[in-house]
Copies of this chain bind each other. A is one copy, B any other.
């Protein structure tokens, strides 16, 4: 397994040169204490924890996996101890409000933290990650009492949380949820039903687990309009808020999966378990969206992590493994052969991973800044501004989730490909990255679901408002950089793709008026096209910053030069892949729908 090395130089480049986090932090209230020194100290500390504690547990966790016995889940050796250190160091509350014991730092800092943790050991990171989503839901939709009762222990990390949506008969289609919640007349509900695919549903990290559960009251309307959200603790709380008697929610079994073996995926049985309503009755799906958005952006981190870790794994192999001679003439005459990295196709694979990892990171940090501003507006009660940023993030979320996990899986496979046959052997660890990455395009809404969310809901239903909002930023960049000599080739490409994006969106909208299936026929290609163009924008921004820094310094700085070269590679070799998606998304749905079901 490749040992993880935190890309701190790249992080610094993004937060200092590309996005100017200091300036950004001065504009939001949670950023007050986030001085340059504080931020860097936190990142260095986090990097050390990830490199020395979490990374070594990644492969061992895969091999050992979770075990299940008597309704209890045992996590792999050493995982619980690493979590204890995480709690002791106060990592869980980094971005949580100070009134509940958190450090009150900006959300974006938590996102950078999550990326390091998720790259070092994704499966381990799912436990605190899911809990973070549960915390956010309680924070935004819970009552004051619920916040007071549950948040402090969760912020501390002493308790964890989950997200219980899926049932055997439905995942995406939550309108089919059957779990019942019956008012007990004493302020609570009796929850009965079976939930599946519950990540971290049961584990040995914490003394309590707070489940956030979608269920339906007896008189609720059918479909999604009749779903409510409940808080169901594993252990009830005593008078002092301490853990008391056991609630009737149990793990029935854990799934045998292709990957993420260290993460427990639980079947959870609610057998008249006591639950408490979160938010208003029948508003569960609305409240759950907060959780889902957190989770979706969180999953996009898995994509970036797959690209980064696969790159870190295959790069040393490409330098060390000797195979064949360069077609352009021997490069290492004293060696038995040249190293893999002299071969153009191997470089193509390495640069693809690098470009997806670094491009994805830039997209993520941009989204994290929007989340900062959104939370800031929320804290200040400025709901109009909140909605504005929520819309912007809502547009980017499906792109980040689907595009970054698809490209992350591609990178993981390329990493394995560079190893040749050795990539298929467990001990090298490259195949684990592929197996772990594979889930990322499936959970928290498949790529197809994200694509419909983007094209159907966010773009078309919103009458292109969010689309125009995001592309306006690109247009502005194009305008302000059109006379920058070095940037001209990229600006030209960006302009061209922007036109295509707008034009194609309108064409699909027109097609959809005649045939609603044209949306589903276009959606995944539309999303992939959008992803390639959005990432191109961020690569252009990075190239621009690198040119600027480059000019400021004496002579050539290798880091900035390689940034520029990677940006050029992205525009030359990856962005052109958008063209096939453009062609395909304009085909309409007829060719997909005309075959009779019986003839498949």
Taking Cβ atoms with an 8 Å cutoff, the residues of A that contact B are 166, 169-173, 175-176, 197, 255-259, 315, 318-319, 322-324, 326-329, 336-337, 341, 343-348, 350-351, 354, 413, 416-417, 420-421, 423-427, 431, 434-435, 438-439, 441-443, 446-448, 451-452, 456, 515-517, 519-521, 523-524, 558-559, 561-562, 565-566, 568-569, 572-573, 576-577, 579-580, 583-584, 587, 589, 591-600
B558 touches A572 (CB 8 A): no
Q: For A579, what are the chain B residues with a Cβ–Cβ distance below 8 Å?
A: 579-580, 583
Interface of chain A: mostly helix, strand, loop or mixed: helix
Q: For A173, what are the chain B residues with a Cβ–Cβ distance below 8 Å?
A: 322-324, 337
Given known pairs A591-B572, A595-B565, A597-B341, the reply for A517 and B328 (CB within 8 Å) is yes
What 9 A-B pairs are tightest by C-beta distance, nearest first? Answer: A344-B520, A562-B599, A258-B431, A344-B521, A256-B426, A327-B516, A328-B516, A173-B323, A580-B580
A600 touches B424 (CB 8 A): no
B351 touches A592 (CB 8 A): yes
Q: How many Å lie between the Cα of A323 and that of B322 in the bound state?
A: 51
Q: How many Å lie between the Cα of A329 and that of B519 in the bound state?
A: 13
Looking at the assembled complex, report how far the CB atom of A296 sits from the nearest CB atom of chain B, in whole angstroms.
14
Q: How many Å lie between the Cα of A208 and that of B172 in the bound state?
A: 54
A562 touches B448 (CB 8 A): no
Write the chain B residue with the least CB distance to A570: B591
Q: How many Å lie between the Cα of A466 and that of B399 in the bound state?
A: 44
Given known pairs A336-B176, A431-B258, A558-B599, the reply for A448 and B324 (CB within 8 Å) is no
Q: How many Å lie between the Cα of A599 and that of B354 in the bound state?
A: 11
Given known pairs A345-B451, A447-B417, the reply for A327 and B517 (CB within 8 Å) is yes
A425 touches B256 (CB 8 A): yes
A521 touches B345 (CB 8 A): yes
Given known pairs A345-B520, A569-B591, A580-B579, the reply for A327 and B597 (CB within 8 Å) is no
Looking at the assembled complex, report how far the CB atom of A277 sits from the nearest CB atom of chain B, in whole angstroms.
25
B587 touches A520 (CB 8 A): no
Looking at the assembled complex, report how far the CB atom of A264 sits from the nearest CB atom of chain B, in whole angstroms.
14
Q: For A327, what are the chain B residues with a Cβ–Cβ distance below 8 Å?
A: 456, 516-517, 519-520
A521 touches B420 (CB 8 A): no
Q: For A413, what are the chain B residues with a Cβ–Cβ distance below 8 Å?
A: 438
A424 touches B594 (CB 8 A): no
Using A256-B425, A417-B446 as known contacts, list a sample of 14 further A-B pairs with CB atoms less than 8 Å apart, ordered by residue number in A: A171-B420, A172-B420, A259-B424, A344-B592, A345-B452, A345-B520, A347-B593, A416-B442, A424-B438, A561-B599, A562-B596, A569-B591, A572-B591, A577-B580
